[in-house]
Every structure is written in structure tokens, then in C-alpha cells.
Structure 1
Amino acid sequence: MTAAADVTERSPQGELAGRVALVAGATRGAGRAMAVELGRAGALVYVTGRTTRGRVSEVGRPTETIEETAELVTAAGEAARRASVKGGGGRRAGGIGIGVPTDHLDPAQVRALIERIDREQGRLDVLVNSVWGGDRLIEFDTRLWDLDLDNGLRMFRLGIDTHIITSHYALPLLIRRPGGLVVEMTDGTAASNRRYRDSLCFDLTKNAPHRIAFGLAAELKEYGGTAVSLTPGFLRSEEMLDHFGVTEETWRDAVAEEPHFAIAESPALVARAVRALAADPDRRRWTGQSLSSGQLARAYDFTDADGSRPDCDGYFEDVVFGGKDATAEDYR
């Protein structure tokens, strides 16, 4: 089982029962973890991605499929239901994953996806725009005039166009009921991204979700909706673990190669952040804001899978950029 699926239960069972969520870009990493955690909380979760058991996307990671994500969501929901019954809480509806292979750059496919959700459920309560898949295209420390232009423009398509297309078709369904939640996933908060990301196209791509959330907050206001941008810290995704040649169990071995990896967090932390937002009846206090997993962990009092509460933003601000004499362990 992947680290994304190994998220322990830390809050009341079934608080999202009856809710319908769409996690766009849930094949792996944070997207998969968020989908699994929403299912654990009782939501019915549609999960999308381009890699299936019969087709591999340009990302080139064939063992992580959208079918597996859907199965992990359903398994998490079933485990939570069994635990609830055993604890005397009674059975709760939801906790089901439905995988729909979707290319979010194809408006016809996205429209068909939303029409299916409407036809089958008649509602959408939570939209998580987590589509990306552009890490392989980044050229750090390369001037704009020297980078591969096709790769740079492809990043815009993968990280910006997909989010706009998905929201265009999904929001008419989401606003039918007041209180809908839109989460724009990105890399870095609006504050931390004031520092240049050493790649212009990557910098623009990862700053765009902040403005998308800010704009959608204004557009959703009259419908009682909430829109936020959300970032994990230094994420121990499957791809990052593979990059360092470690596993979730041995991840600290990578600190020798990359000392800042000591502040890394599992996908569980940002997954719990989305669950907390979705379950919070007062979540509109966050609307339009740029949030981080560490910030919400403190606000909602949850931890990572290992019981720690890594403050990646604080560590980089104080220690890496501020020169404070401290270690990553002081920020966990």
C-alpha cells in the first residue's frame, strides 16, 4: 500500500457522509491521499487521472492508476464503516471511490465527467483541482530565453488550463447547493512564492492557483461557497521517494543527500487538511486565502501520519532563508 493510502483515522467517523467530491488529478501523491481521506470521512469521491491499467500518461508511472485510487478510497470508507459499527456508531453512507479516466485538457471529456456526476448524484459538494504532472518539464536555474519553450508552455496547460477547464464545467453543479468548497492545489503559499522559483514558467504556473482561488472566492460568495488555494510542504510523494531511492519507511535516509528533506511531510498531512476544510461548517472564514497543510494542521489540531506536525513554511522562512540557528526537528 502506498504512503498516500496509509492515513490513520483521527477524527469522527462519517462526518462527510452524503457529500459528493471530485478530486481531479488523483492518480498519485497528494491527489490520491486527499481522495482516500475524503472517502475515509464518508464522502462519495469521483477520482480522475490519465493513467489507467490499460494506458500510461506522459508522466510515465504505470503502476499508479486511477482504478487503484478508486479502490483505495472504497477500502478506506469500508474500514471506517466497520470501525464505526464496532464502536457503536452505526453504519454511515458514502466512503466509495469511483474512478473516471479523464484528460482535463479535453473540454469534452470534462463536460462528460460532470454530466455523469450530475446524472448519478445530482450534486457536487467538494471540488479539488489537483491536476499537474509537469515536474519532469521544469528547468531550474535556466533563463527564459534558454529553456525549452514547448516544455514551458506545456506546464501552463497542465497546471493552469486544466484547472480552469474543470472549474468551468464543475461549478454550475457545485453552486446548486450553498456551501460548496473548491480547493486549488499548488506548490508554495502566496507568501513563500514571493521569492522567485528559479524557473519562470514553473513560477507562473504555481502562482496562478492563488489568483484562481481569490477570483473564485468572489464569484462564489453569493452562493455561500468557499474557494482556497492549498499547498503541502516538502511532500514525500511516491515520485519524490523514488527520486531519493527511499520508501516511506526509510525516508530519513535521504536527509544525508538533501538536508532539508528532514522537514518533509507525508501526503497524509495535506489530505487531512482537505478533510478538515470539507467538514468545517465555518470554512468560509478561509475563502480567498492561500493556505498550507502545516497552517491548517495547527488550526484544526491534526498531525501527520507519524504524529508530528511539520511546519515547512516556518522552517524555510526562519532557518533556510532567515539564517536562524535551528534544525528541522525544531519545526516538527
Structure 2
Amino acid sequence: MGLTEDRVALVTGASRGAGKGIALALGETGATVYVTGRTRSAGDADLPGTVAATAEEITRRGGVGIPVICDHSDDAQVEALFKQVERESGRLDILVNNAFTIPDGLTAKGPFWEKPLALQDMFDVGMRSAYVATYYAGPLLAKNKAGLVVNTSSFGGSCYMHGPAYGAGKAAVDKMAHDMAVDFKPYNVAVISLWMGLLKTERNTALFDSVPDRYKGIAATAESPEFSGRIIDALARHPELMSWSGQVLIGAELGEQLGVVDTDGKQPASHRAVLGDPPTYSKSVVE
């Protein structure tokens, strides 16, 4: 049974970027969407966007946007977040684990030992935060006897991308989705990891604009941040939702399968041929 009406969703890391786009796409369906992030006021971060602005746009589009300031490196704040959801809404249907820190030096060329040691911060807000958020969301999702958890990820879980810290973090949330799916199966809650393509986020758009000739070709292939949200919406509504549970899925391919197009009406291309295949895992279960 798909999640079709009166949905309550929570998207972490939604001040800007992929999280904002996903939250807006879900809000446009009329859902109640909790959005989290650390940016309280414009100017607090180097890039534009706040959780309040995202929530306001969700409401303008026909949903109910609820902003929550939350530092996903602080477990107490995360626990309080889900207590708030339970208190106010009494349920949770969709959780999107998107919060992710981007340390300085991530895209610098060279071996990892010449880059900042702070790249390991991605293990905290990214890998660990997905586990903690799903841990506290678990009872709410299980109580529904239906739900969807999505870990946003990338081809970096399979190919070399930005070095071993980034790759390890993405590979971890991919495997986490597979293993969480085993525990959630009796409760009819699906868990997937979604490999997004290059996105037209505020950060990437600024990069494209800074050297337009260099990035003209690659920028033309970029997906809108809302495309992933449209995919998540279609997947959540699908009557065979559980058939995808436990898998690592390429967003562009899943979008084509579900008949989802981007905001420009086009179907983004998969990068599988260049960047590699999603992993497959053993079906064995060892308690």
C-alpha cells in the first residue's frame, strides 16, 4: 500500500540544496513537511537559504512547512526533534536523511593525507546522523505499519569521488539502508538509498557561474534539487513500494521507471555507464 494521503514527512538538512528541493517537491503534494537545518537567519551561512524560508515556500505551494533548527551532530537535539513530530503530528510517514556537512578542501586535488583531517566530519553529519535520525524515527514509523526512509547518496559510494572519506560515508549510508530494511520489513516500512546526479544547488550554480566556459557541458546535464523529491513522492505512492526496500537506486533510472520528469519536463540521464553500478548485497541475515 502506497503512502498517498495526509502524509507527514521530515527532511533533514533542508535550508538549501538537495534537502530544500526534496522538501519543496513533497510539500507541493499537500504534505506536512518538517524541515531541519542550522541556518536560522539569512547571512548566517556563506550560501543563501534558511529553514524558515524553506518552510514558508512549502506552505506557499500548498503544503504545511514546519521549520526546526537542529544540529544533527547533537543527538539530544535530534531526539527532541522527533518528540516534537510525535507531539504535534502523532505520526511520521517519510524520513529523508539528507543532512550532510561539506568541509573545506573536499574537492581539492591530491591524496587524502594532504587534505584537511576535518574531512572526517562527514562521518558525523552524513553517515552517523542518518543512523541517529532513523533510530529516533523508528518507533513512529513502525507504529504506522507503513512508511519510507530515504538516505540521499551518490555514485561516490561506488567509484572514487573526492577521496576515501567521502566515499566511505556514502558507502556506509547505502549499506545502512539495506540493513535497516531488514529490521523495518515486519512493519511495512521501506528503506532505500538514492543516488542523486549532479544537482543545480546554490553551491554548484555559483561554481558553474564562476567559470561558465569550463562547466558549460556538465551544467547542462545537472538535475534540479526538486527532481529527487518528485521521485520520492512517486515511490512513496507506489502500491509496490516494499519491492524496492533495501536497495541502492539511481535516481535518474528510478525516475524513468516511475514516469517522473524534472522541473524542465526532461528526463535526466543516468551516469551508470561512467560512474558505475550500485552495490548488491547478500540476502543472508545473521542475527
TM-score, length basis structure 1: 0.77
Letter in structure 2 aligned against 1:96: V
User: Within 5 A, what are the aligned runs for 1:87-102?
Assistant: 95-102=63-70
Which of residues 260, 265, 281 in structure 1 aligns to 2:239? 281
Match of 2:55 in 1: 70
Q: Tell me: CA distance 1:54–1:244, structure 2 relative to 1, closer, same or farther (3 Å).
A: closer
Match of 2:202 in 1: 238
Which of residues 96, 104, 109 in structure 1 aligns to 2:72? 104
Q: How far 1:255 sits from its partner (Å)? A: 5.7
The answer on whether the counterparts of 1:276 and 1:300 sit within 8 Å (CA) in structure 2 is: yes
What is the CA deviation profile of residues 163-207 of structure 1, one whole-angstrom value per residue up to 9, with x for unaligned ones? 11211111111110112100001122xxx7432224111111121
Count of aligned pairs: 274
TM-score, length basis structure 2: 0.89
- Once residues 104 and 141 of structure 2 are traced to their aligned partners in structure 1, the CA distance between those partners, rounded to angstroms, is 33
The answer on whether the counterparts of 2:18 and 2:225 sit within 8 Å (CA) in structure 1 is: yes
- Once residues 95 and 260 of structure 2 are traced to their aligned partners in structure 1, the CA distance between those partners, rounded to angstroms, is 22
Match of 1:187 in 2: 154
- Once residues 125 and 98 of structure 1 are traced to their aligned partners in structure 2, the CA distance between those partners, rounded to angstroms, is 15
User: Within 5 A, what are the aligned runs for 1:1-332?
Assistant: 16-53=4-41, 56=44, 60-61=46-47, 63-77=48-62, 95-134=63-102, 136-149=104-117, 151-188=118-155, 193-245=157-209, 254=212, 256-257=214-215, 259-314=217-272, 316=274
The answer on whether the counterparts of 2:42 and 2:50 sit within 8 Å (CA) in structure 1 is: no
Q: Tell me: CA distance 1:160–1:301, structure 2 relative to 1, closer, same or farther (3 Å).
A: same
Q: Tell me: CA distance 1:257–1:33, structure 2 relative to 1, closer, same or farther (3 Å).
A: closer
The answer on whether the counterparts of 2:148 and 2:236 sit within 8 Å (CA) in structure 1 is: yes
- Once residues 128 and 88 of structure 2 are traced to their aligned partners in structure 1, the CA distance between those partners, rounded to angstroms, is 26
Q: Tell me: CA distance 1:317–1:50, structure 2 relative to 1, closer, same or farther (3 Å).
A: closer
Match of 2:281 in 1: none
- Once residues 95 and 272 of structure 2 are traced to their aligned partners in structure 1, the CA distance between those partners, rounded to angstroms, is 28
Q: Tell me: CA distance 1:49–1:198, structure 2 relative to 1, closer, same or farther (3 Å).
A: closer
- Once residues 32 and 224 of structure 2 are traced to their aligned partners in structure 1, the CA distance between those partners, rounded to angstroms, is 23
Letter in structure 2 aligned against 1:37: A
Report 1 or 2 for greater relative contact order, CA contacts < 8 Å, sequence distance ≥ 6: 2
The answer on whether the counterparts of 1:37 and 1:76 sit within 8 Å (CA) in structure 2 is: no
The answer on whether the counterparts of 1:16 and 1:43 sit within 8 Å (CA) in structure 2 is: no
Letter in structure 1 aligned against 2:124: R
Q: CA RMSD in A?
A: 2.1
Q: Structure 2: which 5+ residue stretches go unaligned? A: 277-287
Give the % identical residues. 35
Q: Tell me: CA distance 1:309–1:315, structure 2 relative to 1, closer, same or farther (3 Å).
A: farther
- Once residues 260 and 316 of structure 1 are traced to their aligned partners in structure 2, the CA distance between those partners, rounded to angstroms, is 13
Q: Structure 1: which 5+ residue stretches go unaligned? A: 1-14, 78-94, 247-252, 319-332
Partner SS state of residue 176, structure 1:
helix
Q: Tell me: CA distance 1:316–1:285, structure 2 relative to 1, closer, same or farther (3 Å).
A: same
Q: Tell me: CA distance 1:255–1:219, structure 2 relative to 1, closer, same or farther (3 Å).
A: farther
